Amino acid sequence: MEVDGETQIEELECDIRTLRKQLKAKVQQLKTLKKHFQKNCINKLNNNEIARYSRQIILSEIGVQGQLKLKRSSVLVVGAGGLGCPSALYLAGAGIGRIGILDYDEVELTNLHRQLLHTECSVGLTKVESVRSYLEELNSQIEIVTHHIQLSSDNALQTLESYDIVVDATDNVATRYLLNDACVLLKKPLVSGSALQLEGQLTVYNFNGGPCYRCLFPNPPPPETVTNCGDGGVLGAITGVIGALQALETIKIILGNSGVLSGRLLLFDGHQSTFRNLKLRPKKADCAVCSDNPSLTQLIDYEQFCSMKATDKDSHLNLLAPHERITVQEYKSLAESNVPHLLVDVRGANQFEICQLPTSINVPIDDILKNRRTTEVTQLAATGGPVFVVCRRGNDSQLAVRHLSVLFQEQGLAPPRDIVGGLHAWTHNIDPEFPIY
Ligand SMILES: Nc1ncnc2c1ncn2[C@@H]1O[C@H](COP(=O)(O)OP(=O)(O)OP(=O)(O)O)[C@@H](O)[C@H]1O
Ligand SMILES: [Zn+2]
């Protein structure tokens, strides 16, 4: 009975995939026909546009002329994730004539709580295709262009060139510097947002004599101080707030509104639901890129400059010597032979609650690095057997081993060892049923 049910589900899913493909082909066909036969004048609104945008056209800030400005403008949204989805959605709704969506990534299940243009059916598709099909259904009057690439120094200038404004909806420092420098070189405003946990930030760089990102942050932060959503977590409503505000600032720039958030930083605190505006330092007279005598006149290697990758994928640390590490397979056979040992899981308590390996104890990395619970670990280690350290992907566990090794040595204990690749490696190589997040 259960097997029958599973087969039926698979068959239906397969049918739906086929129908979606057919639908996509028809939508594309319709688009091409419309483009060919409907005269879309950029100096006039058609009846569909008048009705569609009527509730914003009647605003004194917009009017017919403002709506035409939106229609004639082009915006590139870089990153089709937590911030990119809401900003692209509101830009498309408002009638920006050409919207570019740029992202190298594919949709994953862990994206769906906040990246709300992607659906369960788009898991595995490219993010740019997923966003494109959503936005085209929302508004057939505008053009959506997709760029399924990783933005880099080799392609940034050429890609950004054909857009009026750039929205930074990415999640890593290297890409932020790259976008900043490219926008300065091309003289384009950069609407920059970020969101983490229950907080968000927003500002507009390189606009109307205001500072650029480098004016404020001439040097990148140390890599170990940077947290991404995968490690720190984020609430979808926070990315929604900041992404929608990025669309608002973009629209204000196009309309020529005087209240654009340039030279100011908006901070949103979702705990208290408060917004604060900080005045930023003005443009730096000797900024490396936006001053009158810049030392940087072309794009550089940003991963090298930041000592960080321009993606949050595959960032595997390699801090330890081979003898300080064991594989998940080695750990499995040791655990199965009932060798007495101590397994320390250094993820945060919330993550430990999601899933954990049998007999492991939870001592979060922060507690280890700040020596808050290291005595507890050394005392347990002294009771005998080897000590192993595990985390989600095998990075924090290496930091923990490096830190603990010194303490263990001082006490004459055998050094702890890191489990390579962490719980992700456990799921991939040992137990596919072990939850992955
Ligand atoms: N250099 C780049 N080129 C193209 N896309 C980029 C670049 N840097 C970041 N991105 C994209 O920006 C988006 C940032 O969004 P967000 O952090 O919400 O998503 P995510 O990386 O899927 O999240 P998670 O960290 O939860 O896996 C991602 O889709 C990522 O692929
Ligand atoms: Zn500058």
For the chain, domain boundaries: 47-306, 322-430
CA angle 362, 269, 249 (to 5 degrees): 130
Tell whether the torsion through CA atoms of 357, 363, 369 and 373 is positive or negative: negative
* Residue 306 falls in the annotated catalytic set: no
Name the closest-CA residue to atom 14, ligand 1: 170
Q: Does 151 contact ligand 1 (Cβ within 6 A)?
A: yes
Q: Is ipTM > 0.95 here? A: yes
Q: Does 324 contact ligand 1 (Cβ within 6 A)?
A: no
Is 113 annotated among the ligand-binding residues? yes
Ligand nearest to the CA of 190: 2
Name the closest-CA residue to atom 15, ligand 1: 81
Ligand nearest to the CA of 296: 2
**Which of the following is catalytic: 85, 183, 229, 306?**
229
Q: Does 110 contact ligand 1 (Cβ within 6 A)?
A: yes
By CB neighbour count within 10 A (0-12 exposed, 13-18 middle, 19+ buried), where does 85 fall? Answer: buried
Q: What's the distance, Cα to Cα, between the start and end of the chain in Å?
A: 31
Q: Using an 8 Å Cβ cutoff, are 196 and 227 in contact? A: yes
Q: Does 172 contact ligand 1 (Cβ within 6 A)?
A: yes
User: Could you tell me which residues are beta bridge partners of residue 197?
Assistant: 234
Write down the pTM of the prediction: 0.88
Q: Does 170 contact ligand 1 (Cβ within 6 A)?
A: yes
Is 127 annotated among the ligand-binding residues? yes
Ligand nearest to the CA of 291: 2
**How far away, in angstroms, is 210 Cα from ligand 2 center?**
9
Question: Which of 193, 213, 217 has the alpha carbon at shortest distance from 263?
Answer: 213
The fold for domain 322-430 equals Oxidized Rhodanese; domain 1 (3.40.250)
Q: Does 29 contact ligand 1 (Cβ within 6 A)?
A: no
Token pair recorded at residue 258:
């005087």
**How far away, in angstroms, is 178 Cα from ligand 2 center?**
13
**How far away, in angstroms, is 303 Cα from ligand 2 center?**
19
Q: How far is CA 158 from CA 23, 204, 211, 299, in A?
A: 32, 22, 23, 12
Closest atom of ligand 1 to 230 CA is: 25
Phi/psi of residue 10, nearest 5 degrees = -60, -45
d(CA 437, CA 230): 9
The 3-class secondary structure across 160-225, one letter per residue, is HCCCCEEEECCCCHHHHHHHHHHHHHHCCCEEEEEEEECEEEEEEECCCCCCCHHHHCCCCCCHHH
Is 114 annotated among the ligand-binding residues? yes
Q: Does 103 contact ligand 1 (Cβ within 6 A)?
A: yes
Question: Which of 154, 89, 101, 160 has the alpha carbon at shortest distance from 125?
Answer: 101
Does domain 47-306 correspond to CATH entry 3.30.750.24? no
**How far away, in angstroms, is 181 Cα from ligand 2 center?**
9
Is 429 annotated among the ligand-binding residues? no
Residue 219: CB partners within 8 Å, gap ≥ 6?
A: none
* Residue 229 falls in the annotated catalytic set: yes
Token pair recorded at residue 411:
């006490």
User: pLDDT tens digits, the chain, 437 residues: what are they?
Assistant: 566 898 999 899 899 889 988 988 888 888 888 777 766 788 899 999 999 999 999 999 999 999 999 999 999 999 999 999 999 999 999 999 999 999 999 999 999 999 999 999 899 999 999 999 999 999 999 999 999 999 999 999 999 999 999 999 999 999 999 999 999 999 999 999 999 999 999 999 999 999 999 999 999 988 877 888 888 899 999 999 999 999 999 999 999 999 999 999 999 999 999 999 999 999 999 999 999 999 999 999 999 999 888 886 656 788 899 999 999 999 999 999 999 999 999 999 999 999 999 999 999 999 999 999 999 999 999 998 999 999 999 999 999 999 999 999 999 999 999 999 999 999 999 999 999 99
Dihedral angle, C-alpha 32, 33, 37, 40, nearest 10 ° = -40
Token pair recorded at residue 340:
């007495």
| Ligand 1 mutation pick, 312, 313, 392, max ligand atoms within 8 A of CB | 312
Q: Does 312 contact ligand 1 (Cβ within 6 A)?
A: yes
272: number of CA atoms within 13 Å, CB side?
Answer: 6
Beta-strand pair 264-269/274-279: antiparallel
